[in-house]
Amino acid sequence: MALNDNPVWFITGCSTGFGRELAQLVLRRGWRAVVTARDAARVEDLTAGHEDRALALGLDVTSDEQIKAAVAQTEKQFGAIDVLVNNAGYGYQSSIEEGVDEEIRAQFETNVFGLAAMTRAVLPGMRARRRGHIVNISSQAGFIGFEGSGFYAATKHAVEALSDALSREVAPLGIRVTCVEPGPFRTDWAGRSLKQRRPAIADYQSTVGARLETTASYSGKQPGDPVRAAEAIVKAVEAEKPPKHLVLGSVALDGIRNKLNETLAEIEAWNEISRSADYPESER
């Protein structure tokens, strides 16, 4: 590992899914880990038998006080945070027109502002040590705006942009940033971490309604293996030149590749119009 031989991983959202699998893998590797969830009791089983190098903490990433306390406790016990994995988050599906303001804002508070606050709290220590790796869990939705997932996609687009900008800012300081874009994985995300508002407007039944039905019925049948996903994330962090973007799963790989190709083709098709918006060369 480029960081050190016994790194400290701080992982948010470890009660289920990617966070839990990643925490288990890190501890099996013999590394140190801080595993968090809103309710610490939900992750205490992860640290059982590893008390000398593992810490279970209650953490709501929308609480600045809890974030500061968790970072301070980690640095006091282990001396540093080498890898931050911003995994806490959840999905919200509705048509854009029928989205509820309170629910939309709550999702942004967790998926975007909580992630940003967690990152800001860890950066001072990483800067002082001139090393560290921040892993932000995004989604294929960060590239592809699926019908019915507009607000969720917007939070993940924000994570993508934040990660790209952060990477440019901290690369000269020895800190690396990887944004992870998973497709559908066989976790309980749809059962526990997804809120749906089925469309009441008939015009959206064939688009948003169909998408929400597919999402709900797909749970437990997804092709992605969360254990292999955790292994892929560790490989990326261990790499001498880690990726800024790590796409996970064939569904996401094919979908994101198609999206990028379509976008590039459209940009090229409008190339002349795009350039025509500049002042003429003679006036520059």
User: Which tens digits make up the pLDDT trace of 214-225?
Assistant: 887 777 678 789
Q: What is the pLDDT of residue 1?
A: 47
User: Which tens digits make up the pLDDT trace of 182-220?
Assistant: 998 887 655 566 888 899 999 999 999 999 988 877 776
152 catalytic? Reply is: yes
Domain count, the chain: 1
User: Could you tell me what percent of the chain has a pLDDT over 90?
Assistant: 86
Pair 230, 119: CB distance under 8 Å: no
In a domain, 3, yes or no: no
Instruction: Give me the amino acid identity at 205.
Output: Q
In a domain, 281, yes or no: no
76 catalytic? Reply is: no
User: Which tens digits make up the pLDDT trace of 54-64?
Assistant: 999 999 999 99
Supply the CATH number for residue 217's domain.
3.40.50.720
- 15, 95, 156, 204: the active-site residue: 156
- 15, 94, 95, 138: the active-site residue: 138
Closest CA to 10 of 69, 95, 92: 69
Q: What is the pLDDT of residue 190?
A: 55
User: Which tens digits make up the pLDDT trace of 235-261?
Assistant: 999 999 999 999 999 999 999 999 999
> Helix 17-28 to helix 226-238 angle, to the nearest 10 degrees?
60
Secondary structure letter of residue 81 according to DSSP: -
Domain membership of residue 55 as a residue range:
8-274
Is 225 strand, coil or helix? coil
Measured distance CA(126)–CA(255) in Å, rounded: 34
List CB contacts of 144: < 8 A, sequence separation 6 or more.
Answer: 153, 255, 256, 259
In a domain, 57, yes or no: yes
**Average pLDDT of span 71-86:** 97
In a domain, 1, yes or no: no
